[in-house]
Structure 1
Amino acid sequence: MNITVIYNPAAGGGREALLCRFVAELERLEAKVRLHHTTGPSDATRYLQSLPDQGDCVVAVGGDGTTNEVLNGLAPGVAMGVFATGTANVLAKELGLPKKPEAAARVVVEGKSVSVTPARLNGRRFIMMCGVGYDAWVVDGVDLSIKEKFGKLAYVMAMLGQIRRYGERRYRVTVDGRPLDSFSAIITNGKHYGGSFVLSREANILRPQVQVLLFQKPGVRFLLRCLTALLFGRMEQVDGVASLRAQAVTIQCEGAEEPIQADGDPAGMLPADIQVDDLAVPVRVPQMFLP
């Protein structure tokens, strides 16, 4: 098996020792490994696009942002693997991927492939989620130096810093042609959010549709109810949260420049055009994986 490993040394504060164990196990399993260390944003995408042959599988070693870059450089038909060493690692949680490097390597070589259909945000693919409003403000407001040193604490601080802003912007979200108003929105391909939290029990990463969560009431108290519900996996039970399946979503906000986040990283500004991709990606998962 020919494997290209893309390693982000900045993800999770660096995990060189884990990388070495991961690669050693791949080679013990008789895989032929090509290793690339990323040097900055978008480097993984550019590197993969420059390769005439990416191999049988490209493995992202890093966080969800690294996986997003690999996804956007991946050639059609090439499988994608993930060894999560980042901060939140939402996709790894969604797919039941192991944390130990030896077990992660065995999944790549001895596991199975499942078809995951990404979506496109303004033409660029994302595999887990994108969001506007409070969700995007938090991602946009994360202090990267704190994230590097303290991981998820940086997101907690950003969440606290943005709470009072919730409700100041109204978004027009058109879901498969149906216009709806919302004060925040998350478009998700899977159930999980922020790591182990369950955002949507209706979502299914193996289904070629996205789940659209619309937060349709203003006010800090409503937002706090939503955040509390997230802790217990009950977000869709909150009065004022709408959950809809979709193939196509557009988002606009009149009179203001508003950020978007995708797979946990800033992803430009509104307007947003979101479409379920035409092409599924084979992703390596454990043999026992069930959606």
Structure 2
Amino acid sequence: MTAPVGDPRRRIAIAANPYGGAESRRRPAEALAAALARRGLEPHVFWERSERRAALADPDLRRSWRCAVAVGGDGTVADVINEMPPGLPLAVLPAGNENLFARALGSPADPETLAAAILAGRTRRIDLGRAGRRLFSLMVGIGFDAEVAHRVARRRHGPGSFRPVSRWRYLLPILGALRRLPPGPVEVEADGVRALGAHCLVFNLPSYACALPVAADARPDDGLLDWIVLERPGRLALARYSLAVLRSAHLGRPDVRHGRAR
């Protein structure tokens, strides 16, 4: 899938982080828009989530727009992937906390470099997973990880607006999830292999929060998802699993099952 420099589609949909009201948070999107305009393209920045969703929901978008650009972190990338129509190329300008998606795919953080890449039009196909109705590009968790994510999402919503999420905002959700661990067990069936455990993680890309290489061999374009099942429940087991991940020794534990599946 390639959009050459001579592609007549000049319009670029820039989906900016909805927490970008502060001037410092607006600069990356504005710098990218200026860099694209200098190259003869037509950038359109969408700051409001409702406006962005309405624009990206147009099924004919890929016929009239060159690509969409997610300016933000992994949450913004995930939202845009789920809002944009199939077949529309996506570029990413990393401007979040972790930026795992951008790091894994080598997305440049410099607006000028990204604008030049968009003009050149070279693209790469990657895999996506599906959890219910939602697509995911990084990973999905069942058990403790999912409980923390749900708690963060609930705290993220203020009255009538959204709150930005930093690493420190994960502390209380993690403590809350530890106090009330989600019930198990989790049963996984992947290409004929069955595993039973307390927690499950499924990866499309290798890194986890804080860039931990939980699934170091995961590849975004091999047509497979890497799965990991942690068999033992409880807080002490979670602590031991965490230490094993820090030492990159978790996959060698007898109480950890892992594999790959479509």
- TM-score (normalised: structure 2): 0.81
Answer whether contact 1:117 1:208 (CA < 8 A) is retained.
yes
Pairwise CA distance, 1:118: 0.7
- Distance change >3 Å, CA 238–CA 105, structure 1 → 2: farther
Give the equivalent residue in structure 1 for 2:216: 201
- Distance change >3 Å, CA 98–CA 200, structure 1 → 2: same
Which whole-Å deviations, capped at 9, do the CAs of 1:249-279 have from their partners, x for residues lacking one?
Answer: xxxxxxxxxxxxxxxxxxxxxxxxxxxxxxx
- Matching of residue 109 in structure 1 with residue 119 in structure 2: yes
Which whole-Å deviations, capped at 9, do the CAs of 1:37-93 have from their partners, x for residues lacking one?
Answer: 2335xx644431136334121111122222222212333332111112223322112
- Distance change >3 Å, CA 239–CA 179, structure 1 → 2: closer
Give the equivalent residue in structure 2 for 1:69: 79
- Three-state SS of the structure 1 residue aligned to 2:18 is coil
Give the equivalent residue in structure 2 for 1:285: none
Give the equivalent residue in structure 2 for 1:243: 258
| Amino acid aligned to 1:185 | C
Gaps of 5+ in 2: 1-9
Instruction: Tell me the number of residue pairs that the alignment of Structure 1 and Structure 2 aligns.
Output: 245
Give the equivalent residue in structure 2 for 1:222: 237
Pairwise CA distance, 1:111: 6.7
- Distance change >3 Å, CA 44–CA 230, structure 1 → 2: farther
Give the equivalent residue in structure 2 for 1:184: 199
Give the Cα separation in 2 of the matches to 1:220 and 1:12.
39
Give the Cα separation in 2 of the matches to 1:113 and 1:232.
35
RMSD value, Cα: 2.7
Answer whether contact 2:20 2:26 (CA < 8 A) is retained.
no
Gaps of 5+ in 1: 248-291
- Matching of residue 156 in structure 1 with residue 156 in structure 2: no
Identity %: 26
Question: Following superposition, which runs of at least 4 residues in structure 1 exceed 6 angstroms of deviation?
Answer: 11-14
Higher helix fraction (1 or 2)? 2
Match 2:16 to one of 7, 13, 32: 7
Give the Cα separation in 2 of the matches to 1:234 and 1:113.
35
Answer whether contact 1:141 1:158 (CA < 8 A) is retained.
yes
Give the equivalent residue in structure 1 for 2:4: none
Give the Cα separation in 1 of the matches to 2:71 and 2:26.
10
Pairwise CA distance, 1:198: 1.2
| Amino acid aligned to 2:166 | G
Pairwise CA distance, 1:150: 6.3
| Amino acid aligned to 2:214 | L
Give the equivalent residue in structure 2 for 1:26: 36
| Amino acid aligned to 1:33 | P
Give the equivalent residue in structure 2 for 1:172: 187
Give the Cα separation in 1 of the matches to 2:174 and 2:31.
35
- Distance change >3 Å, CA 112–CA 238, structure 1 → 2: farther
Pairwise CA distance, 1:202: 2.4
Higher strand fraction (1 or 2)? 1
Give the equivalent residue in structure 1 for 2:142: 132
Give the equivalent residue in structure 1 for 2:5: none
- Distance change >3 Å, CA 211–CA 111, structure 1 → 2: same
Answer whether contact 1:12 1:62 (CA < 8 A) is retained.
no
Say which is worse superposed, 78-87 or 174-183, in terms of deviation: 174-183
- Distance change >3 Å, CA 241–CA 45, structure 1 → 2: farther
Answer whether contact 2:29 2:45 (CA < 8 A) is retained.
no
- Three-state SS of the structure 1 residue aligned to 2:31 is helix
- Matching of residue 144 in structure 1 with residue 153 in structure 2: no
Match 1:53 to one of 50, 53, 61: 61
Give the Cα separation in 2 of the matches to 1:149 and 1:36.
17
- Matching of residue 38 in structure 1 with residue 48 in structure 2: yes
Pairwise CA distance, 1:232: 4.2
Give the equivalent residue in structure 2 for 1:289: none
- The structure with the largest alpha-carbon Rg is 2
Give the equivalent residue in structure 2 for 1:86: 96
Pairwise CA distance, 1:119: 1.4
Pairwise CA distance, 1:97: 2.1
